[in-house]
């Protein structure tokens, strides 16, 4: 599987959009990251529950692994694209997407809101 295949699968999920985070592509729904792509599109990551993560790592150890540290313990699951089957990735991505959709939309950072307000206020004052 390639990075292009990974993108096609995760962007095929309803409402998924591509953004960027820490210098690599991420995939979001409800303003929440549910998947990422990195290492020149050779590694992906899906955010699963720890229980789901254990199942994928146990059943497909050549394709899935824990991310390091607290992120991995919280369910961030590494996907080795060269070793994962498209159908299995689709299952993992769908679970990650469902998990993100089930949570309330992430709050927009205050700095982003401030910039938007400044732009809005600036355009209103120029209309007067």
Q: What is the pLDDT of residues 21-39, one digit of tens each?
A: 888 999 999 999 999 999 9
CATH number of the domain bearing residue 92: 3.90.1150.30
Measured distance CA(87)–CA(122) in Å, rounded? 50
Strand partners, 80: 43
What the block records as the tokens of 22 is 């820490």
User: Binning pLDDT at 50, 70 and 90, where does residue 104 land?
Assistant: confident
Which residue is listed with tokens 């498209």? Answer: 86
Burial 35-54 (b: 16+ CB within 10 A, else e): bbbbeebebbbbbbeeebbe
Strand 24-29 and strand 32-38: the pairing is antiparallel
Instruction: Name the domain count of the chain.
Output: 1
pLDDT tens digits, one per residue of 40-98: 999 999 999 999 999 999 999 999 999 999 999 999 999 999 999 999 999 999 999 99
Strand partners, 78: 45, 65
Range of the domain at 96: 3-127
* Percentage, residues of the chain above pLDDT 90: 77
What is the pLDDT at residue 108? 56
């Amino acid at each position: 599987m390639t990075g292009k295949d990974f993108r096609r699968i995760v962007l095929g999920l309803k409402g998924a959009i591509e953004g960027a985070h820490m210098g690599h592509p991420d995939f979001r729904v409800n303003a929440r990251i549910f998947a990422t792509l990195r290492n020149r599109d050779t590694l992906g990551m899906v955010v699963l529950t720890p229980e789901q993560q254990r199942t994928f790592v146990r059943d497909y150890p050549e394709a899935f692994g824990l991310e390091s540290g607290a992120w991995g313990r919280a369910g961030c699951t590494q996907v080795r694209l060269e070793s994962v089957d498209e159908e299995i990735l689709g299952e993992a991505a769908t679970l990650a997407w469902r998990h993100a959709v089930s949570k309330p939309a992430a709050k927009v950072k205050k700095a982003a809101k401030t910039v938007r307000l400044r732009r809005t206020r600036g355009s209103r004052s120029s209309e007067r």
